[in-house]
Chains A and B, each alone.
Chain A
């Protein structure tokens, strides 16, 4: 029996050695992630260090190759509007954001949460109505800013009522990995990290009350 114990002890020692090899003894400065220069950068460095805690059935539609600008790894390295523009599922939203001249505002906002409707979500709106909204910068801006909440909301503090940048409040109900916004829009892929925003991808476009 004691030989088993010794074997176990030596395996443990080897394991703990491996742990120090991966740099757990490094100072805080080392732990701070460095920003990445390009989505094409080798995945062996910074991207692998970011936390990927996204959830939901819609996440499966996100590209998995870290070299793809639409992948979770690539999106985590760049600000939110740039991140969305790399993701083919969000191309309608991205063109709406460009139309409203909100690219820089979203990219350079300090910390926000974005509820990002997919192309299919925009597809639910009758085409004539959608065209009208896209053509009216003021309405478009209200609709888009209603999808943005100040601060990065984690899944733990997602449920509840939040004041949007548009001014109105939106309400998130649900828990765990199952959330609905304003009673109608389901979160299909949640807690997607970008450099300056947490993104919750939703299946319907939200409308401000006023």
Chain B
């Protein structure tokens, strides 16, 4: 009995210490390589839909903590059994530790953007667990306990060793927490330490009306990151490779040494519904991308640049568009500040005229020159169109849908966009009575939205307001309804209001 208790406790304690050490190493180097995080991620990916469904239904927002708790429970049970077996057969301890190490390492290696080094924390943790288990069992007795009543079980020595390892485990866990905090702070402090140089080619002076620029903290966010990547500038690098004559690499400082451009550009998401909120305009500071690609020397036949983020997102952009003279850039600054963490710090891509999923990779670390035949980017693999040119769109921001208005003068206002083509006309239709031109406010370039307004003498009753835009090539916005999937919504934003 005593052998079982000691064995189980030793097994659990050894595993706890090993996992804590592995997580500490991972936290300090590659957080995604921590064995608990990696196994959890692998299980989520592998779980059949009904199980995920059940988890979400049963645990709600606690589904991920519950998953990790489950992993810990299974690990504790397994290692308790290993510990008990190891009391009699030490080899069982080694085999158990090795097996769990391989499980953790395999999980880490199969995560998105994993490299060979990600196996190290789990393997190191397993090795440490094995040693700790051996030391603990030995401290209890130099020989087997259960079957040798004659041998003294040195309870005190075992408890001393066990307490020591439990204490160390707690300290390591505290270390993991501390390192995570420090890394988070390091990313935000390395951001606050960034001093952006002035643009060699600044944006044209422009002071749009209220609402022309979207405030940075309200800029829409559509991405797949569960936690915001926290990138240390000291270790961050951008690599340009693939079908190029000269592979290139840049540190953040080296990027900033290049001449920067500053532009006002409207960015919008392909998943935006008609009249939806996923569009925003900012003043962006960045390194023009075309000269970089020319220096790298794009080889004949290449037609796609695949941008990769640090967390494995891939976004593919047509090379001909990146080289056609538009202001495609590697953004380092947004509205006069270093790029915020949620918007892709330290560097994101931006391609005017393309939806974000086709030209605006955040947390950028790699540009691979390749072909559309050779590689499907993340969203393309999920059925979205490979090329994502922005469709002409317009939106009524004022009045709000279902607004109750007083009769008389009402200002109807909103935005319209057709990046790279520009907007030439915006029209309003009230109750289907015909199209009337709205007034366009000044805009700095064809890459931003245009603000428009219309003075309406509103009579009493329920009313329906529609808007449509025409781009500078003369194309009228598509009125037929289409869903955002697979290449952007179409349809005219139409809202109902009541005038008293």
Query: Taking beta carbons and an 8 Å cutoff, which residues of A are in contact with B?
Result: 2-4, 6-7, 9-11, 13-27, 29-30, 32, 34-38, 40-53, 64-67, 73, 78-79, 82, 100-110, 112, 138, 141, 145, 148, 150, 165, 167
Contacts and interface: CB of A to CB of B under 8 A. Distances in A.
A145 B227 contact: no
Nearest to B37: A21
A46 B224 contact: yes
A4 B5 contact: yes
Residue from A14, A103, A141 having most chain B Cβ neighbours under 10 A? A14
A6 B401 CA distance: 62
Contacts of A107: 273-276
Contacts of B184: 25-27
A106 B36 contact: no
8 A-B pairs closest in CB distance = A105-B401, A18-B68, A44-B44, A7-B9, A10-B16, A108-B275, A37-B271, A21-B36
For A73, A103, A148, which residue has the most chain B Cβ atoms within 10 angstroms? Answer: A103
Given A2-B159, A26-B227, A34-B223, A11 B402 contact: no
B412 to A, nearest CB: 14
A9 B166 CA distance: 7
Given A23-B227, A106-B401, A10 B68 contact: no
Interface in B72-98: 72, 75-76, 80
B215 interface: no
Contacts of A43: 49, 52, 56
A204 B483 CA distance: 29
Contacts of A51: 60-61
Given A38-B382, A43-B49, 20 more contacts: A6-B9, A14-B15, A17-B16, A20-B177, A29-B228, A32-B342, A34-B225, A35-B221, A38-B384, A41-B224, A44-B41, A47-B56, A64-B50, A79-B273, A82-B483, A105-B402, A108-B493, A141-B496, A148-B402, A167-B498
Contacts of A101: 464, 494, 496
B177 A110 contact: no
Interface residues of B, number: 93
Nearest to A67: B49
Given A20-B180, A44-B45, A7 B36 contact: no
A150 B400 CA distance: 12
Interface string B58-71: 00110111011101
A5 B400 CA distance: 62
Contacts of B219: none
A26 B63 CA distance: 17
Contact of B226 (A14, A20, A23): A23
B143 interface: no
B12 interface: yes
Nearest to B340: A29
Nearest to B165: A10
A6 B395 CA distance: 63
Given A22-B68, A34-B225, A109 B400 contact: yes
A66 B53 contact: yes
Contact of B221 (A34, A45, A78, A108): A34
A40 B464 contact: no
Contacts of A37: 222, 269-271, 357, 379, 384, 484
B44 A104 contact: no
Contacts of B196: none
Nearest to A109: B401
B456 interface: no
Nearest to B462: A141
B238 interface: no
A34 B222 contact: yes
B342 A42 contact: no
A137 B386 CA distance: 40
Contacts of B338: none
B220 interface: yes
Given A14-B76, A165-B402, A19 B221 contact: no
Name the residue in B49, B63, B69, B395 with the highest tally of chain A Cβ atoms < 10 Å from its Cβ. B49
A186 B220 CA distance: 37
